[in-house]
Chains A and B, each alone.
Chain A
Amino acid sequence: MAKADFYGAGFPYRDFGNLTGKLIVLEGTDGVGRSTQINMLRHWLEEEGYAVADTGLTRSELTGAGLDAAKSGHTLGPITMSLFYAADFADRLENKIIPALQAGFIVLSDRYFYSMIARDSIRGIEKNWSRALYGIALRPHLIMYLQASVPSLVQRLIHGRGLNYWESGMDLHMADNFYDSFVTYQTAILKELEELAREYNFVTVDADRTPLEIFEDLQRPIRLLLHNRLTKSERPF
């Protein structure tokens, strides 16, 4: 990879020069086991001798605190929330991800803007608006999608960190309790992600299995990418 390649106009006021690193995205809904996999991938790649940086949603210094505060209130509208996340995304992309890629790192991104489009779409945000907004986004070298069924998500979350307000889509008032709301909401999210998987060429990995099995499936396309042998159908562009 040489010049930065963006979905839209990118950041036209800056020339980032050559990006020698690789951007690898792990997509998937809440509770699917992304952070476990990111950790395993990171250790593996570091053992192989690669410099690795990881990043996730809402970790930017710019908006992290403000966004947490906004989510704890009840006046945060869908467009406002969407833009808040986009500001966070832009900050991380410009100030963390791209500099790491310039320095030749492998960047493991725990989700990317696709999750945000899925989430916003269910809240009535027009997809074309979202896509235009994320014209600033760099095209990843590889997008892997952890595909899970709703029952397995429920099982994992209830035995894990529990069902939470936002992950259950309680703001949408689709049901009067967390469980029913979670099922309805995540079913809708999965449907959106399936569509995005086709549109953006995700490499889909079955996540209804053990962490080790999933890990092995994720290693394969990464190995191919690092040896420039990904097939066309597995490349985001």
Chain B
Amino acid sequence: MLRPNDTKGKLIVVEGIDGSGKSTQIDLLYKWLLSKGYSVYFSEWNSSALVKSTTKVAKKTHAFTPATFSILHCTDFADRWENSIYPLLKAGVIVLADRYAFTAFARDVARANDPLWVREMYSFAIMPDAALYFRVPLDIAVERITGSRAQLKYYEAGMDLALSDNYEESFKLFQGKILNEYDKMVDEFGLTMIDGTLPVKDQQKKVRSLIRRILVGFEGLPNPDKQGIAVDNPQARKKGKKGGK
């Protein structure tokens, strides 16, 4: 369903439910690859400036249906794909993505969209060279999120699915459905599973060893200044290297 990588670059993505620790891991990976002298670009889910005004209003007014939620998230992805991810891969950059098409396959299907329809929508994208799935049991992830973060948001908690009137309860049920979809994709797409309950350092060790193997013989675009890349991403430009949360 995803095309093979036809570029000189390498695409590495991290996936997992909220609270799986994937963002921490990709941040460490980003810094490590940069220090090694690679050209690296970081792209975050739901971060296209072009689509943001639309999604922001819809989230606030709860105007999404499962279908429009799905299509607009793909629009966001397509904008990043066409303007940065794909051209940079062609140039020989290592692109790191915090969430990729698999997030849509999990979330949109948890919202009861047709699985095949969602997969075909993303078929313009390529299969990553590494798709790392950080797996944590549901209760641990939920504990991490509800314990540390501010109030859950409407769509984040899956309130649109009417699973429960209670945000925390709904979040738990929704994440359970997403986790189930992720688990099914391990075989379907050959996701590499990493135990997200291990200490951060141990996980990163596994990640680096995996990526080292993928980069054997890879030259890529030179990066003599060891600087990050900011393309059409005002947030990244502001921070000098990577996109914000």
List chain B residues, Cβ under 8 A from A135. Answer: 114, 117
Check B81 against A70 for contact (C-beta < 8 Å).
no
Contact A83 B65 (CB under 8 A): no
Q: Interface segment, B68-76, B148-156, B181-189?
A: B68-76
- Measured between beta carbons, the chain A residues less than 8 angstroms from B114 are 8-9, 12, 135
Interface of B is mostly: helix
A32-81 interface with B by 8 A CB criterion = 61-63, 65-67, 69-70, 73, 75-80
Closest Cβ–Cβ distance, residue B64 to chain A (whole Å): 8
How far, in Å, is B55 (CB) from chain A's closest CB? 8
Given the complex of chains A and B, what is the CA–CA distance between A86 and B72 in angstroms?
Answer: 9
* Assembled-state Cα–Cα distance A129/B118 (Å): 11
Contacts of A82 in B (CB 8 A): 78
Q: A83–B75 contact, CB under 8 A?
A: yes
From 28 to 64 in chain B, residues with beta carbon under 8 angstroms from any chain A beta carbon are 50-51, 53-54, 57-58, 63-64
Interface size class of A (residues with CB under 8 A): 20 to 34
By a CB distance below 8 angstroms, the chain B residues around A19 are none
Look across to chain B and name the residue whose beta carbon is closest to the beta carbon of A10: B114
Instruction: Give the Cβ gap from A128 to chain B, nearest Cβ, in Å.
Output: 8
Q: Quick check: B68 and A73 within 8 Å, CB to CB?
A: no
Is the C-beta of A5 less than 8 angstroms from some C-beta in chain B?
no
B218 CB to closest chain A CB (Å) equals 27
Does B18 have its Cβ within 8 Å of any Cβ on chain A? no
A79-B68 Cα distance, complex, nearest whole Å = 16
Q: Which of B119-127, B165-173, B190-198 binds A?
A: B119-127
User: Does chain B have a CB within 8 A of A132?
Assistant: yes
Task: Given A70-B50, A90-B67, answer yes or no on A79-B78 (Cβ-Cβ < 8 Å).
Answer: yes
**Does B180 belong to the interface (CB within 8 Å)?**
no
* Residue A91, interface by CB 8 Å: yes
A95 in the interface (beta carbon within 8 A): yes
Contact indicator A61/B63 (Cβ below 8 Å): yes
Cα–Cα distance between A92 and B63 once the two chains are bound (Å): 12
Could you tell me the distance in whole angstroms from the C-beta of B41 to the nearest C-beta in chain A? Answer: 16
Which listed residue, B74, B79, B112, B123, touches A13 by the CB 8 Å rule?
B112
Q: Is B116 an interface residue (CB 8 A)?
A: yes
A9, A75, A90, A132: the one within 8 Å of B71 (CB): A90
Is residue A110 contacting chain B, with contact meaning CB distance below 8 A? no
Query: Secondary structure at chain A's binding surface: helix, strand, loop or mixed?
Result: helix
Query: Does residue B27 face the partner (Cβ distance < 8 Å to A)?
Result: no
> Of B50, B72, B116, B123, which one neighbours A75 at CB under 8 angstroms?
B50
Known contacts A62-B68, A65-B53, A69-B53; A83/B113 CB under 8 A: no
Expressed in whole angstroms, the minimum distance between the Cβ of B109 and any Cβ of chain A is 10
Is there an interface contact between A94 and B82, defined as CB atoms closer than 8 Å? Answer: no
In this complex, what residue of A is CB-closest to B55? A66
CB distance from A152 to the nearest CB of B (A): 35
Given A12-B113, A13-B112, A65 contacting B54 (CB threshold 8 A): yes
A163 within 8 A of B: no
| B83 close to A77 (CB less than 8 A) | yes
Interface string of B67-101 (1 = CB under 8 A from A): 11001101100110111000000000000000000
With a CB–CB cut-off of 8 A, which chain A residues contact B58?
62
In this assembly, does B111 line the interface, its C-beta being within 8 Å of a C-beta of chain A? yes
Known: A9-B114, A61-B63, A79-B82. A86 touches B71 (CB 8 A): yes
Select the residue from A75, A87, A129, A133 with max chain B CB neighbours within 10 A.
Answer: A87
* A215 within 8 A of partner (CB): no
B74 contact set on A, CB distance < 8 A: 83
Q: Are B113 and A95 in contact (CB under 8 A)?
A: no
CB distance from A179 to the nearest CB of B (A): 29
Given contacts A66-B54, A129-B124, contact A95 B232 (CB under 8 A): no
Cα separation A75 to B78 with both chains bound (whole Å):
12
Choose among A80, A91, A129 the residue with the greatest number of B CB atoms under 10 Å from its CB: A80
Q: State in angstroms the CA–CA spacing of A176 and B124 once bound together.
A: 30
Q: Is B220 an interface residue (CB 8 A)?
A: no
Chain A residue at smallest Cβ distance from B125: A79
Q: How far is the CA of A11 from the CA of B53 in the complex (A)?
A: 25
With A75-B79, A79-B81, A87-B75 given, can you name 5 additional A-B contacts, CB distance below 8 Å?
A13-B111, A62-B54, A63-B72, A86-B71, A94-B67
Ranked nearest first, the 10 interchain pairs of A and B with the lowest CB-CB distance are: A77-B82, A66-B54, A9-B114, A13-B112, A83-B75, A132-B120, A87-B71, A80-B78, A79-B78, A80-B79
